[in-house]
Amino acid sequence: MADIDQIYCAEQISIPTELPEIIKQYTKAVIREQPKDIVSFSAKYFAKLASVRGESAQPP
């Protein structure tokens, strides 16, 4: 089934205000830690971030 809410240009993208800082801190952690399994590291990183922020660790 075709997605009726396709994005055709940058103006259609709404970036949450906290996203750039989250991505920056995550990237720094990956570079600093150099994990062998980035997916596992990422899952743990974001689960910990969610718990610190008082959010559900489950993806939306």
Structural domain boundaries enclosing 47: 15-32+42-52
- Select from 46, 15, 16 the least CA-distant residue to 29: 46
Give the pLDDT score at 13: 83
Tell me the residue type at 25: Q
Distance CA 29, CA 21 (A): 12
Q: Please list, in sequence order, all residues whose beta carbon lies within 8 angstroms of the beta carbon of residue 20, skipping any fewer than 6 positions away.
A: none
Count: domains in the chain: 1
- Select from 45, 48, 9, 53 the least CA-distant residue to 29: 45
* Residue-wise pLDDT tens digits, 32-42: 999 999 999 99
Q: Is residue 28 part of a domain?
A: yes
* Residue-wise pLDDT tens digits, 2-14: 556 777 787 778 8
Q: Is residue 3 part of a domain?
A: no
- Find where tokens 């743990």 sit: 44
Q: Is residue 59 part of a domain?
A: no
Of the pLDDT bands very low, low, confident and very high (cuts 50, 70, 90), residue 19 is very high
Q: Is residue 6 part of a domain?
A: no
